[in-house]
């Protein structure tokens, strides 16, 4: 998938999530460009400007197999949920996103959707910056116990 195709997919998901009024830029990134090397995706929002910058880890360099569409939809979901997020409920926000996005992808892809998204539960979310204008959403792979 190219960056142009990724951007197109993001626009499709913006319509599905009813966030077409946001100016979203998305591109593939190397692990060293992410907030944390083991992140599969991240979303930086500027709520007052309705702008978001999403980075999706290049699948070829990702720490493990990933579903690009799942990670993209998860990061875009942060645009809707980050205003509700606080330091103490970030885990619940991540779990809610995980459940809803999993269901949406399942509905969209049917049997083609593999359960690999369970790798992306984001349980160890580091939390947002605390600044609502710069809330940071992250998709993190499950830590190996």
Measured torsion, CA atoms of residues 117, 123, 127, 133, in degrees rounded to the nearest 10: 30
CB of 47 to Zn ion, least distance (A): 16
User: Does residue number 120 form part of the binding site for Zn ion (CB under 5 A)?
Assistant: no
Is there a contact between 46 and 52 (Cβ–Cβ < 8 Å)? yes
Closest CB to Zn ion among 14 and 121? 121
User: Does residue number 40 form part of the binding site for Zn ion (CB under 5 A)?
Assistant: no
Applying CB under 5 A, among 122, 135, 136, 141 the residue interacting with Zn ion is 122
Closest CB to Zn ion among 9 and 97? 97
* Residues 84-113 interacting with Zn ion (rule: CB under 5 A): 94
The tokens describing 42, both together, are 């991240």
Q: Three-state DSSP class for 79? A: helix
Closest CB to Zn ion among 4 and 40? 40
Is there a contact between 126 and 36 (Cβ–Cβ < 8 Å)? yes
Closest CB to Zn ion among 9 and 110? 9
Q: 137 — phi, psi (to 5°)?
A: -105, 145
The tokens describing 143, both together, are 């830590």
Q: Three-state DSSP class for 118? A: helix
User: Does residue number 137 form part of the binding site for Zn ion (CB under 5 A)?
Assistant: yes
Interaction site with Zn ion (CB under 5 A) = 94, 122, 137, 139
């Amino acid at each position: 998938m190219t960056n142009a195709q990724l951007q197109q997919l993001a626009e499709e998901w913006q319509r599905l999530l009813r966030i077409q009024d946001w100016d979203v830029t998305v591109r593939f990134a190397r692990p060293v460009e992410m907030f944390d090397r083991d992140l599969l995706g991240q979303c930086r929002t500027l709520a007052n400007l309705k702008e978001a910058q999403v980075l999706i880890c290049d699948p070829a360099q990702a720490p493990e197999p990933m579903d690009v569409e799942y990670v993209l939809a998860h990061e875009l979901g942060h645009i809707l949920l980050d205003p509700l997020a606080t330091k103490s409920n970030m885990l619940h926000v991540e779990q809610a996103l995980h459940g809803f996005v999993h269901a949406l992808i399942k509905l969209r892809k049917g049997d083609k959707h593999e359960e690999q998204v369970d790798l992306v539960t984001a349980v160890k979310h580091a939390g947002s910056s605390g600044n609502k204008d710069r809330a940071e959403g992250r998709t993190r792979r499950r830590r190996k116990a």
